Structure 1
């Protein structure tokens, strides 16, 4: 299934795509794509619904983040061997974890606003993992059983804030609008192998990132095992699993960063596409 949320910011309704790609309204079945809806039982309930019986949503409404009420937004840094190489970073011994503020979360096509004073805002296409059932001290062997599904995330980053303002990476990762999520949640039964997904990102029509989740240093299962040994992963928590090479910071001989009016377009195989125009806070 492809589950999504649509409508104005803060008033999104739950929906699903039918076999023809039409948007169907789920608000008569569930209140939101969140919480218990993401459990195996909750998703089975939705699978039992005939999409043709649901109201057809007309027009082209705004798409919101594909998951509502996100609890933790966990992010993994330097998790692609080829991305680590382009930045000159050492391969980490354990997953590098930072958190992204929930106030960064926006829809897949919402405007990304560079904060005041930003000159080093960068792009990062990433595989998002949505937790469906609570996970604590799980092994890699059964970690994927706790996944509701997968989605596209743009881990937008302000590199000066991230590296030069002291503290940790969160400062450059948590600016408002720096977490476009969606367009939809693709349930795990439709993703045969999360470690074999092609991905790319374009800026102004130019291909910047081309990668595949098969170059992850730590797999999705290994990441869940590691994080669940630190804290409980709850339904609706989201994990952004790292980015392949081609980020602006890694461009040679000089880094390339976003500017007002730029357009980012990014996609992951089977998970849909995002498109954001870049704005600038006054």
Structure 2
């Protein structure tokens, strides 16, 4: 078996990684959004994180329907961090120079992969962008339409002042990078150690990755055109106050962490 062809100057071999746990009911929407990308020059890997439903079957069925190639691999160690790390390392081992990661319940906009590629070509080692609420799952209440953008803005501002994000050895600016909307170069990923192999309730693996990359690179960027629409089912399950507490160091400890149904 021969390896990937030598890279040309500025060439980006792009992969998209999607960790998934019990997402058979909704992952087809994410697959449809990826299939609709204007830049289809990427390879997709879905990491089935020990699902108990037909997630893997649904992924293969949806990808076949859209003519989208996919590798479905399994990570038996439960955890968003573990599944993400397995997916990124699989992509790198198979030739990826850069990886975009999203979730199995998000809808990337049509220019998402193109925006990520532009950022990587221009030298970004880690890139993130806006996360907006999905409106196709449930009808957002009027106050939620007003409050949610402000809440996200508050979290972004708060993150810049957290002591753990301001350590002297960290290079470049802190960028809040939700796991459903971030990208990383293979070189930076391997140099920094990658995602922690943790469960979602143990550690915010996306925040940890940002700071790990910042230890080896200052090229951490926020791109306004790198947009995903994220699920609001955690907000529905936890309520606004507890959702905020959850994202601020897991101050809220729900009995059921892996929310799969929306009220």
- TM-score class, shorter-chain normalisation, is under 0.3
TM-score (norm 1): 0.25
TM-score (norm 2): 0.26
Larger fraction in strand: 1
Larger fraction in helix: 2
